[in-house]
Structures are given as C-alpha cells and as structure tokens.
Structure 1
C-alpha cells in the first residue's frame, strides 16, 4: 500500500510550483462570453493540455462550435478491470472582469497578499472560479505521479471553456463522446466549503423551471378618468393572481405543486442543525429580520430542501417620471420555480398555467412565453459508499466532520452527467462565501488551494481502495 504521507509530502514541496502554474493560467484572459477573447480561451485550453500531457495523460484539445474542450485520460499500467474509473470536471473560462476600476490590482495580474488578519489570499479573475479549484485535483494527481509514478484510479479529465456563458456546446459534446466519457462517477470541483475550517460535499441541488406571463385587457391603454371602474385593468388582474400563489403560512397554493416533495430525513435535519447556522444573521446581512418562507421550516431547509415559487419581475403601464393616468393594455410578470425531490418541471409548469388561467376574467386573455423544459432537482444519497469515502478523505485532512450540504441553486452539469452519461456526481470544492466570484477582487485563500490539493490526494487514495 502506498504511503500517503509520501504523496502529501510531494504536494507540499511542490506548492510554489503549483502556485506558478495557477498564476500562469490566471494571466490568460479566457473570457468565453466575449468573442474578442476567443484566442485566449484556446490558449488556456492548450496550456492545460500541455501540463496534463507532461504528467503522462493522453490529453487533447477538442474543437466544438464554440470554445474547445480539454479531454485527458490516465490508465495505470497493469490496471485491472476492477480498478475504478472516475471523471473529473472543471472549466477554464472566466467571467468578464468589469468594472475594472473596482479592482485593487489588475484582474489578470494575479497576486498573493497577506491581509491584516494574517490570511494569505490569491487575487485575480479565475483564482477561485474555476482555475484554482480545478488545479487542486490536477496538482493532487501530479503529487501522486511524482511520488509513485502512477494514480490509484483510472482518471478522465474534462475541462470545458463555456461554463460562464451557458455551456452551449456541452450537451452535444457529451452525447457525441458518451462512450469515451462515461465512468463510474464524476467529481465536480466548483463548489464551496461550509466555512474556512469545515469541508463540505454538496449532495442536493434544486432544479428550476421558469415562465413569463402577459395579461391583456383593453386593446389600447385607456384614460383612467374615462374608463376607470368599468374597464378591466390587467395590472389589478395580475396582482390578484400573484397574491394567490402563497397561503398565509408561505406554502405554494398551485394544485399538485408538492407532488414528489418528501419531508427532510431526520438524520439530515439533525446534521444540518449541528452546522451552527444563524437564520437571524442570514437575514440581517441583507437588511431583513422576519422569515417569510414556509412556517416551521428553518432557512437551511427552505433553501436546500424545499421548493419555491418566486416572482422575479412585474411591469406594465406607465413607469416614467411623474404620473400618467392610464389603464394599461398589458401587464407582465416573470416567475421561477425552484424544484426539489421528484418534482417534474413540465408538470409544475402545466399546473401553474392552469392556476393562472383560472384567475383571469373573461374580458382579459393570458399568454405564456416559451422558456424551455426546465430541469429537475438532483439528489445524491448521503449514504452512498462514494460519498462516505470522499467525506472520510476530507475529514482526515481538515480534522473535522465533513458537512453534507445542499445548494439553493442549480449546477446543470450534474444533471447532464446523470441524464446523458448515466453517472452520479460528487461535488467537492474549497471555495468560501467571501471569494467574490463574478465580482471585482475575486480571490482564493492559499489555504483553500494548498489544503484542497492535499484533500484530493486523500480522496484519490480513499476512492481507489
């Protein structure tokens, strides 16, 4: 059996070189959403291919209609058919750095700085999202190969270049290369720790479906003095409709909305209760104090394990300076539904539209925008052997129990891996809430990077046993 300390020692000794490789990658402005940076995106992919090839991977840059994908494979010599095979995913593209005047140092000139609190931080666009994160597993593999000449698993690496611009090429690429990319499971390194000292695995991701409605009353805007009263006002109709979406206890009133929603298991509720999360502080940080969701459900349960119906925008009538006495012809609203458990996005959409139509009087009509099919929630069993092995590897490094947490948002790649490649994902990351992702002065703590590498060394050992 390999001495894990020898691999950890190799990672520690190479930390300065690992930082150099991170900074070299951060210096490339691989902004996928802006066509002006197309060559830089390719250059970032080429750099990763070169580094992986030098490590002994069979690595290549694969062209797509957009930015290229990095695909790399490593199979240990004399590997048995029983040796597990895992895919590791990240993305080399980054968000635009605007507004530039808010950066303390230039976004593509990475720096290591020690704060007044003594914490060493790495600054630059992509240090956390996702160049620093993806390099934690690459540098861990480097340490394994340096110390032992091989890896304890078969590894496939997929690094895309369009995550920050909606991944338009990803689904076709996965379908076209299904046989090559399908593995026992995938590891995604694009998530956070619970806090700076507590590692986490994200096991729950909410799904989402969205809609937009337009209610039309009179064929033109009307003078409210001449028509106010007898004429149907679309804004009043819309307001009444939206006000009926929730009952006095915060539950969504759409018939069938909770079909497929299960109560949170007692074990998970107890585990989340040990995270010392403050509902009061959570609301206070955004200028609020009174919980507004489902009564009897704490913030973590609401955000990680309960569905929602939210109104994201309302407009209609006159919105300029001063007043204009009109009854508008049209009123509009945008809505999103966050989904959990086995809720079906299309059933939710159909149920909402039936609910909305029933609230519209005869003199008005309602129309719905076409927004696509949405995506269901993803839940990975916290009791799975792979989750347990990963959690143990993290605990060995951080000396704390690994928090099994949820996410209020969605990570589409996890669903794509499940639906297209037929494999579950394990979400492990070392980001922190104050990393300023997508904002000026993005940073990644040196501890996140260094101990992230060490964590992956241990995880590779655990999942290769």
Structure 2
C-alpha cells in the first residue's frame, strides 16, 4: 500500500509540469454557448480523454445532442471498496467584453501568483486539481487507491441541458457511492470549505410582443402600447421595497433556517462590508431582516440578468418597439420546485398583460437546490484530509450558486455529492480577468491526493 506522503512528495516535485498541463487546457477556447466554438469544445473533450488514458483509465468521448461528454473508469487496486465518481466540466463562459481583459483570455498568464485566463478556476483549474491528483496516484502507486469513475461534461455553462438524458441512458455505468465535485469556493485563502448546500436555478427569457412592427413614436405615441414600458413595469412588480419576491406562493416551500444552523453561520463572522467593498458596493440588498449568509445561502432570489428592445445604437431613433425582452433568473433553495416557480412566474406576467400584448417564456435552465447532511461519512472522512493540508479544519458552508449536475446526479443516479472547491470570492468568475491563485491550485491537488486516500477507507454501502 503506497503511503500518501509518497504521492504528495511526487506532486510537490512536479509543480511546473502540473501548471503546464493546466495552461494547455486553458488555451482551448471551449465556449459552449457560442456555435463557432463547437470544434474547440470537442478538442477540449479529446484533451481530457487523452490525459485520463495516460494515467491508466479506460476513457472515451461520448456523444450527446450537444457537446460531448468524457467518461472514464479505473478499477483501483482490487476492484472493490468505495467507488468514487469525479465530476468536472471543460466548457467555459464567453470571454466578452474582450476590451476589459488585461491579457488575451485564452492565453494564460501568471501575474503575482495568480493565473489569469477564461476558465482558470471555473472549472478547468478546479478539474485539474483532481485530475493531477489522480495522475500522481498513478505515478506513485499504479492507480488510485479505490475504484474511480470520471464524468467531464461540456455544457455546464449553458445549464447542462443534455446531461440528464445522458445520465438516464448511462445510469448503470455511472452508479457510484459518492460524487466528488470541485466547482465551489473556499471560505478564504487559508481556510478550506465543504459546501453542504447549493441553491437551485430557474433561468428564463421573457419575450413580450405588442404591435406587428416598430412604430414612429410621433405618429403612434400616446395610442400604441410600448412593450418596453410594459415589461419594465412587470419586472418592477416582482419585488417589494423590502426585497420580498411577490409571485404568489413563491415562498410556500421555503423553510425557515434552523436555529442551530443560524448560530453556526453567525459564528463564522462573515464580513459583508468587505465582501461588497471588493466589488465597489457598500449597501446590502435583498430581503430586509435576514442575515448576510442567510440571504446568500438559504434564501431564494429573483434577478434581471439582461434587458433589451427597441433602438440601442448611437444617436437617437424615435421608435416604439414591437418587442421587449429580458433574461430573468431565480436562485432556489432546497425544497423549492423550479416547475412550480415557473408556473407562478407565468401567471404573474399574464395577469399584468393588456389585451394587445403576448408573452413567450423560454426556459434555459432548471435545477433543484441540494442539501447534504453534515454527518455524512464522506464529509467525516474529508474533514481531516483537508485539515492536514491547510492546518485548520474546513468550514461547512452553503453556496449561493447552482451546479445543475449535482441535482441531476441526485435524482437520476441517487448520488450525494462531496462539494470541495478551491476558488475564492475575488476570482472574477464569469467576468473579464478571471483568475485562480497558484497556491489554491496546488493546495487543491494536495487536498485531492489526501481525500482519495481518506475516501478509499470509507465503508461503501
């Protein structure tokens, strides 16, 4: 049996090689949302498959209705014991606006101990932490210390829309004891974290149409319905002044925060002023009377992510547009049904439409919130492994973001997820100049090396 310290020493001796492989993946512009990059997404999938094949996995690229999925398996030393499923995604957000980047988004650069590139942390860098850990177990011991499967998709940034069908079709092959996911944050740069809850997501586009063509505002203004005016009024009705969402029945399935959990979060002494100050803000928004972490981790939200219609070019054009559009998303807490929230949103809008207006609601993403019990044997095993790397115990925290596959793996495969990420709040995820601290990347590798050792000793069901 290989000692875990032997694997850690091997990783420490090959930091530059790990960084070079990370940079190779970052140079592939695998933007899943943009059709011209479909070939790049396939190239990224092929790259991941090749890396897994190099370290002893049986690895294949599988087709979906969209971008391909990489699936790989390793039997471990005996083919028995716990079976881990590692999940990651190779696709990234669009890099625009390009003019705000300080360097080309797909040419990674090292600046003051930070790697700047699109996908540096989300999720190529984080995926590489466990991929490199598996590499060093292979080099030191001939393979991981237990059975391991790998699932790396290419559509997480567009809602994992084809993954549920893939999971259904391949459920028997992908069944395991626990899914291991690194797509979340640490508590701070020196304190690891295990996320025990994720918010779900409903992402929609609202399209309102009035007249059958754009109209001259002088000839029709005062008589014709303006759909931008109508849409902004409806969106303004979504919340009251205290931040409460006014869709009837929206909070029916939202539980109050248990007193013990509230006390645990209060003890973390989260500095909301510093959190907001880092992005140039000073006044908290959201529901009045709720603590910062409660609003971020345990309360649902409704946000307008984009709005457009009519003339938006240089100068003026006196027009009453025929259409108005908005992207509206809802972060949902465990227990809330995205389907029910969508129906409530539709009723809310229809009730406010005059006779000459029509609405279409497109749905781009739906996923339920997830909560993992903190007394899980997988969390119990991961805690001392992380503490050995960081010198302090991990924080058990919530996560305000959504990872659709975590919900899908629970409902389709019956799998809970161990959510251990190494990002930071200032990584500028989805923004220009996304970065990942090299120290976080390297500690992530070491953490996964130790967690593989610890998780391999958990009694599988």
TM-score, length basis structure 1: 0.83
Task: Say yes or no: does 1:305 pair with 2:298.
Answer: yes
| 1:206-221 superposed matches below 5 A | 206-209=199-202, 210=204, 212=206, 214=208
| Pair 1:279 & 2:268 matched | no
Q: Corresponding residue for 1:343?
A: 336
Does 1:410 find its partner at 2:402? yes
Q: Which stretch has the larger CA shift, 150-159 or 350-359? A: 350-359
Q: Match for 2:91 among 90, 93, 96?
A: 93
CA 1:58 to 1:334, structure 2 compared with 1: closer, same or farther past 3 Å? closer
User: 1:131 is matched with which residue: 110, 124, 127?
Assistant: 124
Are the equivalent residues in 1 in contact too, given 2:381–2:454 (CA < 8 A)?
A: yes
Distance verdict in 2 for CA 1:387–1:212, change over 3 Å: same
- Counterparts of 1:112-151 in structure 2, within 5 Å, are 112-113=110-111, 115=112, 120-151=113-144
Displacement of 1:224 in angstroms is 9.0
Relative to structure 1, the CA distance from residue 276 to residue 58 in structure 2 (aligned partners, 3 Å threshold; closer, same or farther) is: same
Aligned counterpart in structure 2 of residue 437 of structure 1, from 429, 450, 455: 429
Give the drift of 1:222. 9.7
Query: Is residue 215–residue 238 contact of structure 1 (8 Å, CA) maintained in 2?
Result: no
SS at match of 2:363: coil
Instruction: Identify which of 384, 387, 404 aligns with 2:376.
Output: 384
* Cα pair 2:184 2:399 within 8 Å, conserved: no
Partner Cα distance (1:51, 1:454) in 2:
19
The aligned length equals 455
| 1:214-269 deviation line (CA, Å, top 9, x unaligned) | 385999979899996x9988777666655554345332333322111111223332
- SS of the equivalent of 1:46 reads helix
- TM-score, normalising length: structure 2: 0.83
Residue in structure 2 matched with residue 460 of structure 1 by the alignment: 452
* Shift in Å, 1:454: 0.7
Match of 1:193 among 177, 186, 193: 186
User: Corresponding residue for 1:79?
Assistant: 79
CA pair 72-251 structure 1, distance change in 2 beyond 3 A:
same
Kindly indicate whether the alpha-carbon contact (under 8 Å) linking 1:234 and 1:364 is maintained by their aligned counterparts in 2: no
Shift, 1:333, TM fit? 5.7
Contact 2:310-2:319 at 8 Å conserved across structures = no
Task: Give the secondary structure class of the aligned counterpart of 1:444.
Answer: strand
Partners in 1 of 2:327 and 2:37 — Cα distance? 33
Unaligned runs of 5+ in 2: none
How far is the alpha carbon of 1:276 from its aligned partner? Answer: 3.2
Q: CA separation of 1:75/1:33 partners in 2, compared to 1, >3 Å: closer, same or farther?
A: same
Distance 1:384 1:34, change over 3 A: same
Equivalent in the alignment of 1:419: 411
- 1:138 deviates by 1.7
Cα drift, residue 455 of structure 1: 0.4
Residue 71 of structure 1: how far off its partner (Å): 1.6
Checking the alignment, whether the CA contact within 8 Å between 2:211 and 2:322 is kept in structure 1 is yes
Structure 2 CA distance for aligned equivalents of residues 278 and 299 of structure 1: 9
Q: Over residues 160-179 of structure 1, what are the superposed CA-to-partner deviations in whole Å (9 max), with x where a residue is unaligned?
A: 23434554543332222221
Flag structure 1 segments of 5+ consecutive residues without an equivalent: none
In structure 2, what is the equivalent of residue 399 of structure 1?
A: 391
- Partner of 1:264, secondary structure, is coil
Question: Quick check: 1:254 aligned with 2:229?
Answer: no
In 1: Cα distance, 2:293 partner to 2:24 partner:
38
Structure with max Cα Rg = 1
Paired with 2:154 and 2:49, the residues of 1 have a C-alpha distance of: 13
Deviation at 1:73, TM superposition (A): 0.8
2-structure distance, mates of 1:126, 1:372: 21
Give deviations 1:101-154, integer Å, cap 9, x for gaps: 6555544444444x2xxxx22344433233321121122122223333342221
Q: Distance in 2 between matches of 1:75 and 1:270?
A: 43
CA deviation map 1:283-322 (0-9, x unaligned): 4444544433222102221121111234456677888867
Distance 1:226 1:453 in 2: 64
Offset at residue 198 of structure 1 (A) = 1.2
1:447 Cα shift? 0.9
Partners in 2 of 1:287 and 1:97 — Cα distance?
A: 22
> Who is 1:14 aligned against?
14
Q: Quick one: structure 1 residues 392 and 59, their matched pair in 2 at CA, closer, same or farther if it must change by over 3 Å? A: same
Q: Which residue of 1 aligns with 2:262?
A: 269
